[in-house]
């Protein structure tokens, strides 16, 4: 078991004398094991040789620490799109983010083909207010191209003091040429759960899974019970659209809030101590009222755990478009004063044993948003996990998901997915995929 590690649904430090010889390794077993170890340490000798040659002959004196950090990060990023090295500052920033408050622009990003790609803007943040959209490519930051930057370097440039401006050059499919967007940095306080009454329907929006999410969900349900009346609520809409994910324990807690029993998610890794199963405890906070979960191409990771659990347990109807397809778990492993590594250590599986890695969750009811005229020629879809270079394949094989629409209209009245969900819960729309009596659908 990896100790002092945190699980997310987001080491070797070599010193100045990097060469390690076989003679320094005791008790090598002759034969195949010896040959394998010998090859490994020969490669480490190669690394040491290159490192020393750079230090001795590079045109300018290099920064040894920067060289080592780049080498370690290169080793991790070669594994998959979600493994990476975090220096002490990045590690501290990540800890602040998972607590639900940090400084910056308010976007979830990844690296694709050498440029920064927006996975999703976070609700009510400077980026969202400036019009940044899921699928946008950030090709330059304050006039500097991002082509030769790592993802961590690009993110670092986008962070900065509160109230300072930054200019992002954006490429958006359907636009004739790149355009600039000016954003003013701010303290990003993530209120990960918001709610409101839609007539007799309780609407709950979860924008991310941080340490405050489950408590926020409990408060939202209590608020809606009081506002509408617990005996009058016809059902709940759980909106996970464009939610990029977050902490595994919070995904489990949110799933548990709607379940009385049964499995929520299982994780399986390379070693048996990385395998775990998470089950629901007695007590459904919504008193078994009907639930509709909204997902789209921007719903990833922890969002997919919740949607998959409620779908497989037949506790909720999933409505919208196919989710992103990030079915892997990252463990944050601290390295003392040297920061931490984010390492992919397991895949997760829904209660029915499905891995959604590179495939996503398919909705029970597919509803595609109507686009306003100004967006007709712009990309409003994500390509999903399957489009990321070096992504883990799905063990079950078969066709990988190609992403789906990720557009959510700013006005509720124009939100086709939301309006259909309200109509289903109000009984104004009939659909065979919507369970008429959720209490009868409880699995044994």
**Of 120, 147, 149, nearest in space to 381 by CA:** 120
Look up 326 and say whether it is catalytic.
Answer: yes
Cα separation of 441 and 444, whole Å? 9
Per annotation, catalytic residue among 136, 239, 312, 415? 312
Cα separation of 209 and 187, whole Å? 18
User: Positive or negative CA dihedral for 19, 20, 23, 29?
Assistant: negative
Cα separation of 153 and 52, whole Å? 25
Structure-token match 């509408």, residue found: 228
65: Cβ–Cβ under 8 A, 6 or more apart, which residues?
Answer: none
Look up 312 and say whether it is catalytic.
Answer: yes
**Of 360, 380, 378, nearest in space to 369 by CA:** 380
Cα separation of 262 and 309, whole Å? 9
Report the greatest alpha carbon distance in the chain.
Answer: 77
Per annotation, catalytic residue among 83, 84, 195, 301? 301
Structure-token match 């359907």, residue found: 174
The b/e string for 360-383 (b: 16+ C-beta within 10 A; e otherwise) is: bbebbbebebeeeeeeeeebbbbb
Per annotation, catalytic residue among 93, 326, 359, 381? 326
Catalytic residues: 301, 312, 326
């Amino acid at each position: 078991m990896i100790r002092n590690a945190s699980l997310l649904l987001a080491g070797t430090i070599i010193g100045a004398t990097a060469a390690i010889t076989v003679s320094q390794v005791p008790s090598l077993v002759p034969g195949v094991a010896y040959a394998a170890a010998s090859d490994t340490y020969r490669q480490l000798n190669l690394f040491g040789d290159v490192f020393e040659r750079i230090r001795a002959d590079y045109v300018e004196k290099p920064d040894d620490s920067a060289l080592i950090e780049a080498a370690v990060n290169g080793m991790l990023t070669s594994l998959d799109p979600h493994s990476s090295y975090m220096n002490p500052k990045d590690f501290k920033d990540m800890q602040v983010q998972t607590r639900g408050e940090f400084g910056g622009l308010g976007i979830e990003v990844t690296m694709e083909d050498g440029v920064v790609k927006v996975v999703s803007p976070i609700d009510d943040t400077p980026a969202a207010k400036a019009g940044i959209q899921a699928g946008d490519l950030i090709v330059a930051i304050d006039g500097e191209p991002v082509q030769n930057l790592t993802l961590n370097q690009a993110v670092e440039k986008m962070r900065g003091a509160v109230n300072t401006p930054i200019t992002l050059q954006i490429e958006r499919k359907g636009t004739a040429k790149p355009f600039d967007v000016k954003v003013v940095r701010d303290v990003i306080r993530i209120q990960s759960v918001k709610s409101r009454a839609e007539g007799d329907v309780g609407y709950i929006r979860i924008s991310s899974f941080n340490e405050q999410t489950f408590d926020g969900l409990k408060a939202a349900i209590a608020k809606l019970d009081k506002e509408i009346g617990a005996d009058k609520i016809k059902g709940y809409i759980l909106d996970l659209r464009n939610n990029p994910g977050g902490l595994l324990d919070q995904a489990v807690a949110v799933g548990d809030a709607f379940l009385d029993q049964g499995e929520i998610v299982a994780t399986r890794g390379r070693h048996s101590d990385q395998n775990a199963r998470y089950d629901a405890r007695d007590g459904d906070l919504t008193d078994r009222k009907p639930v509709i979960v909204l997902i789209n191409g921007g719903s990833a990771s922890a969002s997919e755990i919740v949607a998959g659990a409620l779908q497989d347990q037949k506790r909720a109807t999933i409505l919208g478009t196919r989710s992103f397809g990030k079915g892997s778990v990252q463990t944050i492993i601290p390295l003392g004063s040297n920061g931490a590594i984010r390492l992919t250590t397991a895949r997760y599986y829904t209660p029915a044993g499905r891995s959604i890695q590179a495939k996503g969750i398919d909705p029970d009811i597919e509803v595609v948003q109507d686009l306003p005229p100004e967006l007709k020629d712009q990309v409003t879809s994500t390509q999903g996990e399957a489009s990321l270079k070096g992504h883990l394949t799905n063990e079950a094989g078969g066709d990988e998901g190609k992403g789906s629409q990720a557009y959510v209209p700013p006005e509720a009245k124009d939100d086709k997915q939301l309006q259909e969900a309200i109509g289903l819960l109000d009984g104004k729309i009939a659909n065979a995929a919507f369970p008429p009596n959720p209490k009868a659908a409880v699995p044994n």
